[in-house]
Amino acid sequence: MARILILHSSTDGHTIKICERLRQALARQDHELALHPLAAFDGADLASFNTVVIGASIRYGKHSPHVPDFIARHQRALERMPSAFFSVNIVARKPEKNRPETNPYMKKFLRQIAWRPMLVEVFAGKLDYPRYGFLDRMMIRLIMALTKGPTDPSTVVEFTDWRQVDAFARQIGELHRNHQAAGSSCC
């Protein structure tokens, strides 16, 4: 059994929903879980966890500045343990952009940080026009028009592949088991 910390940086709440799904799946594997907003987690007890997972949403092509800041401040601790990172974005709704190696936001983000998580994943997010404020709704509609996505302002579409999320949870559980079996430090 591992103590797994799941940190989230969510714009509209969908990344939290994905983290909750990960938490539930990992709890069924008998792991001890903690789920916290990344921006409110000071990292003081980071070493008390065996594994760390960070999930972050994209808005207008970028993760929240809290994400790279947290990673830079805690890189040494993150490198000493099994770790995973996932990004949530609408671009990942497209099959040719739904993998870490093909998703432009994930590729750009990994080039910008020095930390190399052992697992990376990309999940398609949720489009929820009625929930957005006027400016966000207009900007996202423009982006969707340019990328041939839904533009009807009443549209609510969840693009997330929940089987992919469950598979990622299994990989996280295996990550800890494999690390424990190897009996060595992470990096």
The CA distance from 174 to 108, in Å, is: 27
Q: Which CATH number covers residue 164? A: 3.40.50.360
Instruction: Work out the pLDDT band at 20, boundaries 50, 70, 90.
Output: very high
Q: Are strands 3-9 and 32-37 parallel, antiparallel or unpaired?
A: parallel
Instruction: Work out the pLDDT band at 14, boundaries 50, 70, 90.
Output: very high
pLDDT digits (tens, 9 = 90+) for 147-156: 899 999 999 9
For residue 60, give Cα distances in angstroms to 34, 83, 180: 29, 26, 39
The CA distance from 155 to 171, in Å, is: 33
Q: Is residue 187 part of a domain?
A: no
pLDDT of 67 higher than 80: yes
User: Are 143 and 88 in a shared domain?
Assistant: no
User: Are 155 and 86 in a shared domain?
Assistant: no
User: Are 24 and 78 in a shared domain?
Assistant: yes
User: In the numeric block, which tokens belong to residue 20?
Assistant: 């909750």
Average pLDDT over residues 43-64: 93
State CA 81 to chain mean position distance. 17
Q: Please tell me the pTM assigned to this model.
A: 0.92
Amino acid at 74: H
Output the pLDDT for position 25. Answer: 95
